Amino acid sequence: TAYRRQRQMCIRDRGAASDGQIEHIGEEVGYVLEGMLELRLGEESYTLGPGDVFTFSSNVPHGYSNVGDVVAKVLWVNSPATF
């Protein structure tokens, strides 16, 4: 079965964060281009910087915040598309 993928350039100002944690069907993968991102997956937290890659099942509660001093830019892909 083919799934539609949603790709987006996620750009977040210093201190910006998601509105809590969400969960939904699918998979997500991302590549940090600039800045520092804290990715929260359930109870775990990961600090990611330029060149770091992440992937996770979207049914795990997840959220993020820009913990750096500059704008964070992340190439983010969801499958299936969620928006």
C-alpha closest to that of 77 among 58, 64, 49: 58
pLDDT along the chain (83 residues), means of 10: 70 92 93 97 97 97 96 91 65
Specify which residues 66 forms β-bridges with: 37
Buried/exposed 48-61: b ≥16 CB within 10 Å, e otherwise: beeebebebebeee
Instruction: Give the span between the Cα atoms of 34 and 9, in whole angstroms.
Output: 11
Alpha carbons 66 and 30: distance in angstroms, whole number: 14
pLDDT score at 2: 56
What is residue 82's predicted lDDT score, i.e. its pLDDT?
Answer: 67
